[in-house]
């Protein structure tokens, strides 16, 4: 299997979908002539032309709304919002239109729209440019929220997104764009939504993560194994909505301990949902309260040291696990 | 300086230029909408209809003049004051009434309500309750037509209040940049809830629209023939592939913004002034003058309408509520090919 | 003490603050000539004039942004967003400007801005007009989120909001505007943020609510007492951020059972945060997993029966408590 | 049809109308900004500065011409390409550089970074990184002046790309409706990242602004004197209480959008064409012609600037990082009177 960077795996998915389905087209700021602000769409304008790879003005609300309209009319648009931070000026289109029209029309219409967004901090972009809001989107019925952690999953899930009849929020962690991984060449390979992946088996504790935090979990598991002889099981959620709670519960009932890891602020974050559901469904199996390792509740600082302190690190995960023993 | 046409009875198109059948159709539709809305108001007071109810009374010439200039394959998307548009589009009024009642035979099976009328078969893309939120969607509907190279154009209906929202700007700008077949139809009834137009937008609306470099016209929204002509010109332009077109129809709403409106912001005299320019009365008068309508014809028409609207109410009354077991239907559509 | 409706108590607070502090002014859609869409501001235009009670165009992003600017320049603006549903077109101003400028300027500037919003379902307004998003706002550092359940609290907390140096999201439940309660006449009375109120004492279970859900909790407590002889303690949070977690933990350590009640969707809602924190801080005292009684995860239906089924009711609270025994 | 002034060297204001001191000040500020930005680029490559860095090279005439037309009590708010504006406003460049380094002596104590320069003492309200997000804030700053009846006006600086956002529309409309003392200053450098102006807005920007019924002028943003004159006219209008005023300055950015820009969207030839209209070179040439500047003066100026910028870098280098213990500072400001 060829090894690809995350951004290349995403590009392959887009290419293959553009070829497979003529209803598919891409819209976004600087996805064409500029080559994509994170180079995901690089080269697609030359290959598919302006009609299917559209550079747009800086009008997030306008282009997401246009995507909703094009989807209602039978197309399969993908709108790239450069980063999730800018989705805040388009969120009304996502929530009040994309996620609700199927319901409000009594099932007559539906909105097969893929919205890709880069998310996450860690690049010293400051408070307005470092949000991790995928958990917020997962709150809304009618949406799918996809958060891949590896190139192969990213490709298979993005291809799956184009086959969905509903709006899909597809999250790409900026810190993972250059990460590499083996990606199967099979162009028909897709991954179903709502199927978590146990990427490491263990018996002492279950660590749950998604997107970037899966990698902190992996590094933490190695440290725990080496330094403490603790064997950690790691579950990569892959999608937040639908959520594969069964996989988590099954694991926790074996390990009796759980840690949830995410980049986002802890207070009111998605980790609370995971923690609460684990308690609700595995209360009698828990030897300790579910622990949450999250970002600190502070607007993201620009300064490098402060930003590092604000984000969760593998050491924090290790600490949380040790505190449970 | 603000300027331009108002709703005053300036001489409109001469009716002898129109086929008799069409004129009767216009009169019937306008009178039907008027009566349908009056009865909705009554049913609301009776507790049969709930939530927000926005009546269209006084604005009938806009919906009837504009939507009759379209073809079946064309797409319509509008805001929450949508009953008149839905009826003029030919959606079964029984099902509209049932939707207002929240019943299973409603256009949205009772899920949407008054502000969210949808009908796929009629290419009616809703009823949208977030002011101006549907405008970028209209640009996207137009974009799809351009890509499909189908012969459908999209009409987007909105109010003067919607012009204050940023999405008005984004949607218009994109529609011109992308040369999409979209007709922007602004129903300027002078108020956004209780806010006067002059307090909500710095210039005449059609002039702001013109700044995006598309043709932009104002017409008398109290004259169904004037609206019909203005929109026909827009259709000609847009269907020929020349891009979007903006029409501002000057009209007035006789009733409160919604059933809850205390109407503190305007005088009775003002309302009466506009009622003196009633669009239905205007056409009726023209048809009588032209010998196309007798007093007998007219009362016969009103009787027919009375019965038709009664049927709508009976239909809605007899339609069942959705079953609680269906609460989770229509949230997610299962993938067709996955 | 005079009995006032919620809307009148809120109006009194606005009146008194307009009189107390000349820097205070009000902006919003239809707060003037129309009399306020929920009649909260009724009469204030006549009393204070157009300069201090400004009717605005339908430009939520514009007026919230203008509020931020006026606050930066030393005024004390209150912006009314007619309902929380429309705050989605202004949320970028709230999150990226109001909540972060104090931080991003290194403390040089601050944004003393009160943003009032009507929230909640139950009036058959359909999916776009029935959100309960206060929990979402509570996720963001830099904001205060206030959710009163009674007229007296509403008045004292709104007056407190005008004395804050930070942006305050002030939530008013549409179903409570006509609810009545005694309101002290003392015009200097304010309530601190972050102080929950134990509105009913009990020993068998702790029921936590805020805004509208406090009333479901109260009705449930009566049923539990009458029908089952179960004595429920009820905690009204009053503010979600800051959150008075200590009060909840102290109570749960006595009752050993907790139920969290909210109108919002359960999945990813604020109830998850409360549930998780209770577990984290009172794990060994819990006889049963913390229960969450919330809205069903569905866009709000228009039909009356469906909407009723979608919202939490006192019966659901009773059921949750009984399931714990 | 698109039209209007470009950056071509049309005859600008004659320099003999200006005090010698002012011309030297303009030349010094522009050359200082140029060198400051060049060195920032170097420090970024060296790994001293991180995150997004947007250089202002080529656009110096805009900041220097515009901000020198303001008074100290006036307010300035701008977007993320803000170093030039901060320097022209008189903010200590040492503290600006320290902010880019993320150090405690930075304007925001290292919390903000390049895109978020704030300075209360200079009435500099930021440095905003959400495109057009600061525009409604500017309207609010103007509203406050109107209420305070102070003599401060607000200048809001933004780029051509910002015109695509709905907040442009809302902010301009409100500023006119409320008659606020706001000068809208658009730096039109032809691109929003890699998107050409003609692909992002349907008409000339100053014409769209004019549709809100405020005076709207275009000027040559490569001629500091032309910008200065245009903004002086705006200040005269706005300070007199006549409401907002719009200025579009035609300029060009020589460097990539940010340090990460591969610049695939434009040719080297295009960049060179505009470098041939360099604003600093233009003023230098004019001053030499007028006998106000010798070759010796000029190289002496550049040497002085070299030293001043070196001081900024040394200052930033020697300033400490914020202590981790201060991570939670500045999130909530404690109430003064509660
Ligand atoms: C974003 C948003 N803000 C506010 C509202 C509340 N609201 C509903 S209708 C309306 C007035 C709209 O006026 P206009 O667009 O002129 O339409 P009309 O009611 O006059 O037909 C307002 C403010 C809303 N639905 N959406
Ligand atoms: C709402 C939003 N969308 C997108 C971006 C990403 N972005 C940053 S700068 C920029 C281009 C802005 O161009 P312009 O306004 O012309 O300013 P210039 O960079 O040319 O000075 C874009 C798209 C952003 N910061 N905010
Ligand atoms: Mg109106
Ligand atoms: Mg630009």
Neighbouring residues of D337: CB distance < 8 A, sequence distance ≥ 6 = C163
Tell me what pLDDT residue B9 has: 54
CB atoms within 10 A of CB D213: 20
Residues near ion ligand 4 (Cβ under 5 Å): D 159-161, 189, 192
Identify the active-site residue in A12, A29, A60, A314. A60
Q: Dump pLDDT digits (tens) for C215-266.
A: 999 999 999 999 999 999 999 999 999 999 999 999 999 999 999 999 999 9
Residue nearest to atom 21 of ligand 1 (CA): B159
Is the pLDDT at D4 greater than 70? The verdict is no
Query: What is the residue with the minimal CA distance to atom 13 of ligand 2?
Result: D192
Q: What is the pLDDT of residue C83?
A: 98
Best mutation site among B58, B85, B131, B255 for ligand 1 pocket (most ligand atoms within 8 Å of CB): B131
Residue D194 tokens read as: 């890699």
β partners of residue A5: A180
Touching chains, C (3+ CB pairs < 8 A): A, B, D
Compute the average pLDDT of residues A7-19: 98
- Separation between Cα atoms, residue A4 and residue A150, nearest integer Å: 10
All chains having 3 or more CB pairs closer than 8 angstroms to chain A: B, C, D
Residue B73: CB atoms within 10 A of its CB come to 11
C 187-226: CB under 8 A from A: none
Query: Do A232 and A224 touch, CB atoms closer than 8 A?
Result: yes
Task: Report whether D127 contacts D95 (CB < 8 A).
Answer: no
Count CA within 13 A, CB hemisphere, residue C46.
8
**What mean pLDDT is reported for chain B?**
96
Instruction: Give A245's pLDDT tier (boundaries 50, 70, 90).
Output: very high
Assess whether pLDDT exceeds 90 at residue C75.
yes
In whole angstroms, what separates CA A207 from the centre of its chain?
17
Report whether C207 contacts C218 (CB < 8 A): no
Model confidence at C1, pLDDT cuts 50, 70, 90, reads confident
Q: Scanning the structure block, which residue is given the tokens 């559509």?
A: B333
List Cα–Cα distances, A3 to A8, A41, C61, in angstroms: 10, 19, 45
Q: Cα(C82) to centroid of ligand 1, in Å?
A: 10
In this prediction, residue B148 carries a pLDDT of 87
Highest mean pLDDT, choosing among B292-296, B334-338, D145-149 = B292-296
Question: What's the rounded Cα separation, in Å, for the pair D332 and C61?
Answer: 23
Nearest CA to ligand 2 atom 17: D159
Band of pLDDT at residue D2, cut at 50, 70 and 90: low
Catalytic status, residue C129: yes
Task: Tell which residue, C84, C37, C50, has the closest CA to residue C64.
Answer: C84
Q: Mind listing the pLDDT tens digit for each residue in C173-185?
A: 999 999 999 999 9
Residues 6+ apart with CB under 8 A from B249: B61, B62, B65, B66, B185, B186, B187, B188, B218, B219, B220, B221, B227, B230
Per-residue CA distances from C309 to A105, A261, C297 (Å): 19, 34, 11
In this predicted structure, the answer to whether residue D250 has a pLDDT above a threshold of 60 is: yes
Of D110, D167, D265, the CB nearest to A34: D265
Chain B (188-227) residues lying within 8 Å, Cβ to Cβ, of chain D: 199-203, 207-208, 210-214
| Backbone φ/ψ region at D196: left (φ over 0), alpha (ψ -120 to 50), beta | beta
d(Cα C317, Cα C319) in Å, to the nearest integer? Answer: 5
Minimal C-alpha gap between B305 and chain A (Å): 28
Cα–Cα distances in angstroms (integers) from residue B233 to residues B249, B258, C17, in the given order = 14, 33, 55
- pLDDT tens across B44-103, in order? 999 999 999 999 999 999 999 999 999 999 999 999 999 999 999 999 999 999 999 999
Q: Which tokens hold the place of D8? A: 């071509």
pLDDT for B6: 63
Cis-peptide into A242, omega within 30 deg: yes
Q: How far is the CA of C115 from the centre of ligand 1 (A)?
A: 19
Lowest mean pLDDT among A103-107, C44-48, D259-263: D259-263
Per-residue model confidence as pLDDT tens digits over A144-201? 999 999 999 999 999 999 999 999 999 999 999 999 999 999 989 999 999 999 999 9
Measured between alpha carbons, how far is D120 from A172 in angstroms, rounded to an integer? Answer: 37
**DSSP state letter for A33:** T
CA of D165, closest atom in ligand 2: 1
Determine how β-strand C258-265 pairs with β-strand C232-236: unpaired
Please state the rounded mean pLDDT for residues B21-27.
98
Alpha helix locations (H) across chain D? 20-45, 60-67, 83-88, 93-101, 135-148, 166-177, 205-210, 224-237, 268-275, 279-289, 295-318
Quick check: A65 and B171 CB within 8 A? yes
**A273 vs C100, C267, C298: nearest CB:** C267
pLDDT at D51 over 60: yes
User: Distance from CA of residue D280 to its chain's centroid?
Assistant: 15
**What's the pLDDT tens digit per position in B204-238?**
999 999 999 999 999 999 999 999 999 999 999 99
A166 lies within 8 A of chain B by CB? yes
Contact list in A for residue C277 (CB cut-off 8 A) is 272
Give the pLDDT mean for A15-34: 98
Q: What is the per-residue pLDDT for B200?
A: 96
**Atom number of ligand 2 nearest to Cα D59:** 21
Q: Average pLDDT, stretch B301-320?
A: 98
Distance of CA D225 to the CA centre of its chain: 15
| Phi, psi (rounded to 5 degrees) for A250 | -55, -45
Beta strand pairing call for A239-241 and A144-146: antiparallel
Residue C20 CB neighbour total at 10 angstroms: 15
Q: How many angstroms separate the first and last alpha carbons of chain C?
A: 40
CB distance C28 to C41 below 8 Å? yes
CB A295 within 8 A of CB A312: yes
Give the pLDDT confidence score for residue D11 in this predicted structure.
81
pLDDT band at D22 (very low <50, low <70, confident <90, very high): very high
- Cα(D162) to ligand 2 centroid in Å equals 7
Count of CB atoms situated within 10 Å of the CB of C161: 29
Judged against a pLDDT cut of 70, whether residue D59 lies above it is answered with yes
* CA closest to B174 among chain A residues: A62
Q: Per DSSP, what are the bridge partners of residue B119?
A: B124
Helices H / strands E in chain A, number of each: 12, 14
Among candidate residues C257, C191, C181, the one with its CA nearest the CA of residue C7: C181
Question: pTM of the full predicted structure?
Answer: 0.98
Residue D40 clears pLDDT 50, i.e. is over it: yes
- Give the phi and the psi of residue A146 in degrees, each rounded to 5: -115, 130
Residue C255 in tokens: 């009752």
In contact, D286 and D222? CB cutoff 8 Å: no
**Mean pLDDT over each residue of chain D, to the nearest integer:** 96
- C60 belongs to the catalytic site: yes
Structure tokens at C197: 């109120």
Report the pLDDT averaged over residues A27-37. 97
pLDDT of residue D6 exceeding 90 = no
Please determine, for the modelled complex, whether the ipTM score is greater than 0.90.
yes
Rounded Cα gap, residues A55 and A79, in angstroms: 10
**Does residue D1 surpass a pLDDT of 50?**
no
What share of chain D has pLDDT > 70, as a percent? 96
Determine the 3-state secondary structure of C236 from DSSP: strand
| Cβ neighbour number for residue D20 with a 10 Å cutoff | 13
Tell me: pLDDT of B4 over 60.
no
């Amino acid at each position: 299997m060829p090894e690809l960077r995350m951004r290349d795996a995403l590009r392959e998915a887009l290419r293959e979908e553009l070829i497979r389905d003529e209803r598919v087209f891409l819209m976004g700021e600087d996805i064409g002539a500029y080559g994509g602000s994170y180079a995901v769409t690089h080269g697609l304008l030359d290959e598919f032309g302006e009609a299917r790879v559209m550079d747009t003005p800086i009008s997030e609300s306008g282009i997401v709304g246009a995507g909703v309209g094009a989807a209602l009319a039978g197309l399969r648009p993908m709108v790239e919002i450069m980063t999730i931070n800018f989705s805040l000026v388009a969120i009304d289109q996502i929530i009040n239109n994309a996620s609700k029209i199927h319901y409000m029309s009594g099932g007559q219409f539906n909105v097969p729209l893929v919205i890709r967004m880069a998310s996450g901090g860690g690049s010293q972009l400051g408070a307005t440019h470092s949000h991790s809001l995928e958990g917020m989107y997962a709150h809304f019925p009618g949406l799918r929220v996809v958060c891949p952690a590896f190139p192969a999953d990213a490709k298979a899930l993005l291809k799956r997104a184009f086959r969905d009849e509903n709006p899909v929020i597809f999250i790409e962690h900026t810190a993972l764009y250059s990460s590499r991984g083996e990606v199967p060449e099979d162009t028909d390979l897709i991954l179903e939504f709502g199927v978590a992946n146990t990427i490491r088996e263990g018996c002492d504790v279950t660590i749950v993560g998604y997107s970037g935090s899966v990698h902190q979990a992996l590094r933490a598991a190695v440290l725990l194994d080496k330094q403490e002889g603790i064997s950690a099981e790691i579950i990569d959620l892959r999608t937040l909505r639908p959520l594969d709670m069964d996989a988590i519960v099954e694991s926790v009932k074996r390990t009796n301990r759980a840690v949830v890891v995410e980049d986002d602020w802890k207070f009111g974050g998605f980790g609370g949902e995971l923690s609460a559901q684990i308690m609700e469904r595995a209360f009698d199996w828990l030897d300790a309260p579910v622990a949450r390792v999250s970002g600190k509740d502070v607007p993201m600082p620009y300064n490098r040291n402060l930003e590092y302190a604000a984000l969760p690190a593998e050491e924090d995960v290790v600490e949380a696990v040790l505190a449970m023993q | 300086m603000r300027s331009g046409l108002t709703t005053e009875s300036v001489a409109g198109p001469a009716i002898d230029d129109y086929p008799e059948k069409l004129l009767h159709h216009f009169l019937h539709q306008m009178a039907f909408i008027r009566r349908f809305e009056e009865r909705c108001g009554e049913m609301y007071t009776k507790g049969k209809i709930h939530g927000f109810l926005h009546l269209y009374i006084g604005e009938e010439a806009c919906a009837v003049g504009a939507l009759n200039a379209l073809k079946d394959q064309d797409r319509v998307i509008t805001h929450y004051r949508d009953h008149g548009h839905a009826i003029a589009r030919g959606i079964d009024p029984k099902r509209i009434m049932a939707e207002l009642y929240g019943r299973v035979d409603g256009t949205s099976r009772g899920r949407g309500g008054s502000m969210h009328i949808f009908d796929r078969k009629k290419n009616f893309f809703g009823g949208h309750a977030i002011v101006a939120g549907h405008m970028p969607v209209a640009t996207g509907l137009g974009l799809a037509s351009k890509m499909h190279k189908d012969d459908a154009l999209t009409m987007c209906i909105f109010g003067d209040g919607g012009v204050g929202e940023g999405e008005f700007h984004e949607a218009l700008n994109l529609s011109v940049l992308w040369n999409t077949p979209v007709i922007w139809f602004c129903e300027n009834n002078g108020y956004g809830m209780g806010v006067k137009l002059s307090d909500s937008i710095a210039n005449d609306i059609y002039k702001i629209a013109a700044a995006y470099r598309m043709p932009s016209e104002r017409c008398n929204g109290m004259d169904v023939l004037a609206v019909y002509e203005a929109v026909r010109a827009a259709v000609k332009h847009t269907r020929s592939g020349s891009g979007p077109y903006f029409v501002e129809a000057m009209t007035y709403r006789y009733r409160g913004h919604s059933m809850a409106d205390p109407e503190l912001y305007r005088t009775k005299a003002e309302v009466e002034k506009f009622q003196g320019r009633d669009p239905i009365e205007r056409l009726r008068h023209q048809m009588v003058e032209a010998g196309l309508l007798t007093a007998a014809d007219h009362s016969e028409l009103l009787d027919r309408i009375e019965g038709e609207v009664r049927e709508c109410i009976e239909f809605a009354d007899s339609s069942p509520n959705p079953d609680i077991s269906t609460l989770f239907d229509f949230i997610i559509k299962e993938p067709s090919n996955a």
